Amino acid sequence: MGNPEAQSSEDKIWCSVEATFNLGNYENIKLATGLSRTLPLDVNEHDLRNSMMSEMIDEVLDMGNTVRGEIKKAKNPRWRQGNE
């Protein structure tokens, strides 16, 4: 295998994504994530950033929907009675 440094530049790409999820009753949660990667020599900076953002948006939306569902379950008295 070749030298990994010969396959990439020293340039780093950093992206962050934040999302706020409404829980109702004037309550909300905010989730944020960030990701950095070394920019490969053969990849366009904008393409890499778009790919990273796409990946993070999907992850944050999945996490937010999961957390929102768990919070709603925990607040539901019928759910709590069956799971205590």
Residues in the chain: 84
- Model pLDDT, residue 30: 92
Cut 0.85: pTM above it: no
Taking only the tens of pLDDT, the chain with its 84 residues reads 333 444 445 788 889 999 998 888 888 889 999 999 988 888 888 999 999 999 999 999 999 999 988 888 888 777 666 665
- Model pLDDT, residue 63: 92
Q: Which of 78, 71, 80 is nearest to 27 (CA)?
A: 71
Q: How many domains does the chain have?
A: 1
- Model pLDDT, residue 41: 85
Q: Where are the alpha helices (DSSP H) in the chain?
A: 45-75, 77-82
- Model pLDDT, residue 6: 41
Residues spanned by the domain of 55:
4-82
